[in-house]
């Protein structure tokens, strides 16, 4: 099962980048958790 998980993880970024409105979904998710994109960026980059 580990091999399957590792193989799947290699394609996650490619899959997500192909998702229309990905930035909007991320922004909305952070907002629902009480964060702003700017705040997240300050803390993690």
What was the pLDDT predicted at 6? 64
According to the 3-state scheme, what is the secondary structure of the chain? Answer: CHHHHHHHHCCHHHHHHCCCCHHHHHHHHHHHCCCCHHHHHHHHC
Q: How confident is the model at residue 37 (pLDDT cuts 50, 70, 90)?
A: confident
| pLDDT per position as a tens digit, 13-35 | 888 888 899 999 988 998 999 98
pLDDT at 13: 83
d(CA 21, CA 44): 22
Average pLDDT, stretch 34-42?
A: 83
pLDDT of residue 10: 74
């Amino acid at each position: 099962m580990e091999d399957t998980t590792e193989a799947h993880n290699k394609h996650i970024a490619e899959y997500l980048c192909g998702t229309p409105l990905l930035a909007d979904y991320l922004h909305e998710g952070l907002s629902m958790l009480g964060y702003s994109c700017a705040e997240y960026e300050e803390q993690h980059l």
